[in-house]
Amino acid sequence: MSDSAFDWLSAAELSKLFARRQASPVEIVDAMLKRASALQPHLNAFVLVDAEGAQSAAKAAESRWQKGEPLSPFDGIPTTIKDTTNVKGWPTRLGSHSTDETPAIENAAVVDRFLAGGMIILGKTTTPEFGWKALTDSPLQGTTRNPWNVAHSPGGSSGGASALTAAGVNPFNHGNDGGGSIRIPAAHTGLVGLKPSYGRIPQSPADAPFADVISQGVLARSVLDTAMALNLTAGPDPRDWRSLPAEARDYTVGLDAGVRGWKIGLSLDLGHVQADPEVRDLIVAAAKRFEDLGAHVEEVGPMFEPLQQHFEPLWIGSFATRFRQIPTQLHDKLDPGLRALAEKGLSITLADYARAYEAKSKLARDLALWHRNYDLLLAPVTPTAAPPVETLYNSEAFPRWTKGAPYTLPCNLTGQPAASMPAGLTKAGLPVGLQIIGPPRADDVVLRAMRAYEGASGWTWPQPRVLETLRGL
């Protein structure tokens, strides 16, 4: 498989080429579709590809650029939508045999925002069944693989999005995050992954299970692209009563102001989690870069009690809600791990759920108060690098609460913004992610820290080991 001149360019770089008429959306889309087709048999990242629709949209975008009338800086930039999210006219299968090919009757709010900016949707990407786990395999769509090493998972649940972005198919891809589903795959594939503040980007339908912890976002290769994508997608929508009020803010303004003088906490344990020694070493080294940038970093130890005791009812109770909606004759076609949790969730009582919500409120309050004294909190994104694709999630060997999402879930419960940034590679050549956590609703603070770290980390694309893998396909 040969590289094209466009494979590793950021969306911001492509936008400049469009403005100067040094490249066109038509040739970009053609190149990306060609690369996607070559990689699909090896990565299995796509659920659906709409080549004809993408090419038609590219022609329209090219015409707008030629007239000097782009809809946004991202007009003509290709992206994809995770298959937990509705695109009008396409089915939303959620990785499950319990769904069907009925097309969605309207776009999700985030899709409308992409389209209003002229972005081109290449297709939909893979997810585990109902997005239930931090790996990406499903009974319906099979196993998605990591371009760093195809024997390993790209993480989940936005695993198809992360695989495409890390493989150089297109600059960034849509994901969502209800327990780490943007940050975990970003960490496992060396990407930039921001979970914005809860409600910053509206979601629809807003009454689905887990809707009160999910944030929409993108998995990208640059912080600038991430900030520009937030500009395009942030803001309220009447379909989501929880969406935050509009802000007169350009998230690219002040992005390069740095972190000098900031007070930053580092927690390797967070909620009494034990990360692999190699992960801990990489996170400590990454945190020191903030000291080089003029910030004060101090270790703060564990931040709160282990999460499972308080919050498992929210998780398995919500899966039980979904389970009750699935016809009995289809239960045997579910992911066995998901079914086991959903059946366990059938015993959750209203009192259990209420106590979990009380704990959720307390956690949000405690972390908000902690941020009175600290500008940021740093932690690992995951306790391990990307696990092998055959890993059984929430098994004895890989339990969710200690291996799957122990570092990321807290910020879904509190709603505060958090991001994954590349922290380096293990000896086996797999990426590790540094988590940057900001105060409530301070997306601009997190983006500013991400940008400062990005400039100091020396992480660039394409990565040699990714290329070695891809060229061997």
Tell me which residues are annotated as active site.
Answer: 82, 157, 181
Q: Specify which residues 298 forms β-bridges with.
A: 265
CA atoms within 13 A on the CB side of 317: 16
Tell me if 25 sits within 8 A of 65, measured CB to CB.
Answer: yes
Give the side-chain half-sphere CA count within 13 A for 76. 29
CA distance 251 to 444: 6
Q: At what angle do helices 223-233 and 11-19 cross, to 10 degrees?
A: 80
- Tell me the one-letter amino acid at 173: N
HEC string of the chain equals CCCCCCCCCCHHHHHHHHHCCCCCHHHHHHHHHHHHHHHHHHHCCEEEECHHHHHHHHHHHHHHHHCCCCCCCCCCCEEEEECCCCCECCECCCCCCCCCCCEECCCCHHHHHHHHCCCEEEEEECCCHHHCCCCCEECCCEECCECCECCECCCCCCHHHHHHHHCCCCCEEEEEECCCCCHHHHHHHCCEEEECCCCCCCCCCCCCCCCCCCEEEEEECCHHHHHHHHHHHCCCECCECCCCCCCCCCCCCCCCCCCCCCEEEECCCCCCCCCCHHHHHHHHHHHHHHHHCCCEEEECCCCCCCCHHHHHHHHHHHHHHHHHCCCHHHHHHCCHHHHHHHHHHCCCCHHHHHHHHHHHHHHHHHHHHHCCCCCEEEEECCCCCCCECCCCCCCCCCCHHHHHCCCCHHHHHHCCCEEEEEEEECCCCCEEEEEEECCCCCHHHHHHHHHHHHHHHCCCCCCHHHHHHHHCC
